[in-house]
């Protein structure tokens, strides 16, 4: 027996340090108090989803500029120099023929919104050759030329020639609608996460108050047991209650951390554990960003009455999904018109007007016959004189013709038009689906708001009644009429009633945010601005 006693004492000494007692003491984390407006502002400035989505309209704006660039004039400047020495094939020309030539051309081309292609050019050329019997050498030849091509069937008209820019404009509309949708979802996500964090912290506060109350009850029971007015069972019951609250407090603290970590990414703030990455050189994170967030705002039950019909009418006018689908339908209609045009034959009007001019050193042969080889006079000219003939329109030349082309694809392949019609049908069905989805979403949002408003009243009444019941049971317990189990049960019910009351107000605020999102009015209702967009 003595050995058993010694072994038991040694075991107690070994095990005692390993036995956990009470709540573990953890370092209190740093905190940062933020209002809901602060959180929304930080989300608009740094949310990664918004930053990614905001690049799409910018890229589409650049695409519009690229599509319009084809209507800008294009200038061209070219030059050429030739020094040629070739054998002669005609004996009277001499054994070889040497030719030197320089050529310069300045031109501008322009495409108009109706598909007209204009080309204006001014060119000059100097030719110096050793070829025998040449009457003008060196010779200067200059020319002004106007070429015009006008499609009359295929590629004619504003829409056919602005097809790319119209599509790019509609794509910009769709990108802006998608950005608004992301903005609505982001702001709603911030509100939901903010109020859930508030609820998590308030639930923790209620449990911590209940834990403190249960510990105080345990102390009183231990003192009463010491003097003999309470039994050991009452002490054990109080200890069990304390242990239960300690367990729930630990779980509540974990929920606070999770809620904090759900809010921070929306604000582009590092979550718990980012400090280790920063220490490893992954990112530089400030202590302020790593601090836990404490909501500064308290939820207010701002009663709002909205009928389903009013909410639905607003949603159908404001929701970006409908605007995006409308743009898709307009795009499909544009595709149909374009591909119909592409099925037409190509009939082009081609018009050319040009005015040449020539000058140089002109040799006058005897009897005006170069074969005599006898030069009786020389007339000297320059490059400038060739330009004078051009400006005076000394030699007018005109060309007008029509070209008709019938591509085989006009009769065989109509895949582009068929695909555009299918895309239009798909967009029409998508629009109908979006309307149905919005109707359901608005209906649920309105009903959730009404239910949440009623829940606030019922939860407040239940909490008030439970407080009175706990007060009555406490008096009975003090008089020894009921045991601690009854008292603890009512105290737990009261703690849950307080949490439920907070949850009801939080659910109402979230329901309000969900209704604004469903109607598409969040941005205007909160007076938000995002990078100059007017939503």
Query: According to the model, what pLDDT value does residue 108 have?
Result: 96
Distances in whole angstroms, Cα of residue 304 to Cα of each of 287, 513, 515, 523:
40, 12, 11, 18
Q: How far apart are CA 487 and CA 113, in angstroms?
A: 86
Query: According to the model, what pLDDT value does residue 523 have?
Result: 93
Other beta carbons less than 10 A from residue 30's beta carbon: 10
If pLDDT is split at 50, 70 and 90, which confidence band does 31 have?
confident
Query: According to the model, what pLDDT value does residue 403 have?
Result: 94
pTM over 0.95: no
Q: How far apart are CA 111 and CA 535, in angstroms?
A: 36
CA dihedral 363, 367, 368, 373 (to 10 degrees): -50
pLDDT (average), residues 432-443:
96
For the chain, list the domains and their CATH numbers: 74-151+346-405 (no CATH), 165-334+418-526 (1.20.1600.10)
pLDDT (average), residues 475-486:
78
Residue 275 predicted with pLDDT over 60? no
Residue 327 predicted with pLDDT over 50? yes
Residues in the chain: 535
Query: According to the model, what pLDDT value does residue 289 have?
Result: 64
Q: What is the DSSP letter of 530?
A: B
Radius of gyration for the alpha carbons in the chain, expressed in angstroms and rounded: 45
pLDDT (average), residues 454-483:
87
Query: According to the model, what pLDDT value does residue 25 have?
Result: 47
Query: According to the model, what pLDDT value does residue 137 have?
Result: 86
Query: pLDDT over 90 for what percent of the chain?
Result: 58
Q: How far apart are the first and last CA of the chain?
A: 86
pLDDT tens-digit series, residues 169-203: 999 999 999 999 999 999 999 999 999 999 999 99
Query: According to the model, what pLDDT value does residue 400 have?
Result: 95
- Residue 40: partners with Cβ closer than 8 Å, 6 or more residues away: 187, 190, 191, 526, 528
Other beta carbons less than 10 A from residue 266's beta carbon: 24
What average pLDDT is seen over the chain?
86
Range with top average pLDDT, 268-272, 313-317, 531-535: 313-317
pLDDT (average), residues 500-512:
94
Tokens 């999904």, residue located: 321
Which of 74-78, 232-236, 418-422, 441-445 is predicted with the least confidence, judged by mean pLDDT? 232-236
If pLDDT is split at 50, 70 and 90, which confidence band does 381 have?
confident
Q: What is the DSSP letter of 342?
A: H
Q: How far apart are CA 202 and CA 255, in angstroms?
A: 11
Query: According to the model, what pLDDT value does residue 230 have?
Result: 79
pLDDT tens-digit series, residues 145-158: 999 999 999 999 89
Query: According to the model, what pLDDT value does residue 23 have?
Result: 43
- Does the bond joining 434 to the residue before it have cis omega, within 30 degrees of 0? no
Query: According to the model, what pLDDT value does residue 284 have?
Result: 52
Q: How far apart are CA 258 and CA 435, in angstroms?
A: 35
Query: According to the model, what pLDDT value does residue 357 have?
Result: 92
pLDDT tens-digit series, residues 98-129: 889 999 999 999 999 899 999 999 999 999 98
User: What is the per-residue DSSP string for 52-108?
Assistant: HHHHHHHHHHHHHHHHHGGGS-EEEEEEEEEEEEEE-SSGGG-SEEEEEEEEEEEEE
Query: According to the model, what pLDDT value does residue 377 have?
Result: 75
Q: How far apart are CA 168 and CA 62, in angstroms?
A: 9
Query: According to the model, what pLDDT value does residue 130 have?
Result: 81
Query: According to the model, what pLDDT value does residue 105 have?
Result: 95
If pLDDT is split at 50, 70 and 90, which confidence band does 29 have?
low
Helices (H) and strands (E) in the chain, counts: 15, 9
Q: What long-range pairs does 248-254 form, CB within 8 A, spacing at least 24? A: 248/207, 249/23, 249/204, 249/207, 249/208, 249/211, 250/23, 252/200, 252/203, 252/204, 252/207, 253/204
Query: According to the model, what pLDDT value does residue 287 have?
Result: 58
If pLDDT is split at 50, 70 and 90, which confidence band does 5 have?
very low
Residue 162 predicted with pLDDT over 80? yes
If pLDDT is split at 50, 70 and 90, which confidence band does 278 have?
very low
Q: What long-range pairs does 235-238 form, CB within 8 A, spacing at least 24? A: 237/483, 237/484, 237/485, 237/488, 238/214, 238/484, 238/488
């Amino acid at each position: 027996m003595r050995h058993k006693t010694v072994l038991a004492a040694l075991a107690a000494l070994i095990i005692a340090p390993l036995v956990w007692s009470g709540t573990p003491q953890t370092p209190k984390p740093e905190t940062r108090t933020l209002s809901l407006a602060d959180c929304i502002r930080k989300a608009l400035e740094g949310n990664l989803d918004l930053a990614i989505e905001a690049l799409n309209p910018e890229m589409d704006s650049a695409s519009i500029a690229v599509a319009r660039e084809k209507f800008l004039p294009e200038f061209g400047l070219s030059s050429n120099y030739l020094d040629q020495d070739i054998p002669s094939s005609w004996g009277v020309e001499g054994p070889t023929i040497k030719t030197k030539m320089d050529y310069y051309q300045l031109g501008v081309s322009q495409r108009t919104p109706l598909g007209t292609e204009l080309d204006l050019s001014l060119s000059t050329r100097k030719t110096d050759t050793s070829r025998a019997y040449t009457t003008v050498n060196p010779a200067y030849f200059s020319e002004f030329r106007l070429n015009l091509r006008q499609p009359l069937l295929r590629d004619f008209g504003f829409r056919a020639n602005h097809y790319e820019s119209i599509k790019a404009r509609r794509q910009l509309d769709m990108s802006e609608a998608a950005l608004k949708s992301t903005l609505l979802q982001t702001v709603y996500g911030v509100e939901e996460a903010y109020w859930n964090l508030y609820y998590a912290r308030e639930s923790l506060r209620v449990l911590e108050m209940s834990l403190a109350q249960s510990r105080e009850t345990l102390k009183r029971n231990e003192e009463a047991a010491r003097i003999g007015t309470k039994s050991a069972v009452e002490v054990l019951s109080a200890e069990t209650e304390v242990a239960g609250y300690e367990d729930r407090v630990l779980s509540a603290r974990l929920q606070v951390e999770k809620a904090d970590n759900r809010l921070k990414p929306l604000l582009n703030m590092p979550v718990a554990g980012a400090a280790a990455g920063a220490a490893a050189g992954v990112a530089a994170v400030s202590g302020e960003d790593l601090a836990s967030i404490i909501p500064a705002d308290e939820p207010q039950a701002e009663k709002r009455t909205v009928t389903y019909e009013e909410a639905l009418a607003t949603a159908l006018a404001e929701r970006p999904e409908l605007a995006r689908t409308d743009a898709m339908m307009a795009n499909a209609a544009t595709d149909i018109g374009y591909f119909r045009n592409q099925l037409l034959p190509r009939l082009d009007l081609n018009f050319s007007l040009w005015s040449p001019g020539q000058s140089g050193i002109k040799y006058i042969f005897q009897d005006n016959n170069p074969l005599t080889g006898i030069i009786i006079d020389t007339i000297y000219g320059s490059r400038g004189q060739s330009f004078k003939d051009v400006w005076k329109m000394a030699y007018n030349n005109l060309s007008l013709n029509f070209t008709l082309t019938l591509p085989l694809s006009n009769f065989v392949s109509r895949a582009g038009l068929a695909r555009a019609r299918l895309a239009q049908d798909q967009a029409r069905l998508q629009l109908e689906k979006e309307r149905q989805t919005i109707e359901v979403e608005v209906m649920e949002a309105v009903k959730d708001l009404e239910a949440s408003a009623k829940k606030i009243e019922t939860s407040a009444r239940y909490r008030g009644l439970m407080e009175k019941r706990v007060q009555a049971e406490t008096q009975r317990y003090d008089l020894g009429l009921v045991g601690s189990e009854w008292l603890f049960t009512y105290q737990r019910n009261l703690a849950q009633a307080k949490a439920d009351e907070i949850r009801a107000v939080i659910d109402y605020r979230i329901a309000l945010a969900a209704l604004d999102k469903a109607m598409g009015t969040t941005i205007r209702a909160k007076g938000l601005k995002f990078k100059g967009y007017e939503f």
